[in-house]
Amino acid sequence: MIVRILGEGQFDVSDTDMDGLNELDAAVERAVDSSDVEVFTAALTALLDGVRSVGVAHDVDSLDESDLILPPSDASLDEVRQLLGDDGLIPG
């Protein structure tokens, strides 16, 4: 799987590593639903750290699409909501 962390680039993550990441992902999702900022920040940091540690940087000059796109590490809860909403994702 190719996972993109916005603002950082793409990572190759093996399918076996995805199980662990899915758990971290579920934690972030719960935090977004519960609107708990502190829990959200901690969960997002854990998820992105997970991707960086198991993932390998994808070829920088490849033109491959990612399978999964994650928000930037310093994204706020509101920003993530905005990214998931209908406007503001791709400027211009």
The Cβ of residue 29 has, within 10 Å, a number of other Cβ atoms equal to 13
Rounded Cα gap, residues 13 and 1, in angstroms:
5
Which of 23, 29, 49, 78 binds another protein (CB under 8 A)? It is 29
Rounded Cα gap, residues 72 and 81, in angstroms:
13
Residue entry with tokens 């920003």: 79
Nearer to another protein, 14 or 30 (CB): 30
Which of 23, 49, 64, 78 binds another protein (CB under 8 A)? It is 64
Closest contact distance (angstroms) between CB of 90 and another protein is 4
- For 65, residues 6+ apart whose C-beta sits below 8 A from its C-beta are 2
Residues 3-22 that bind another protein (CB under 8 A): 4, 6-9, 22
Residue ranges in contact with another protein by CB under 8 A: 4, 6-9, 22, 25-26, 28-29, 32, 60-72, 83-84, 89-92
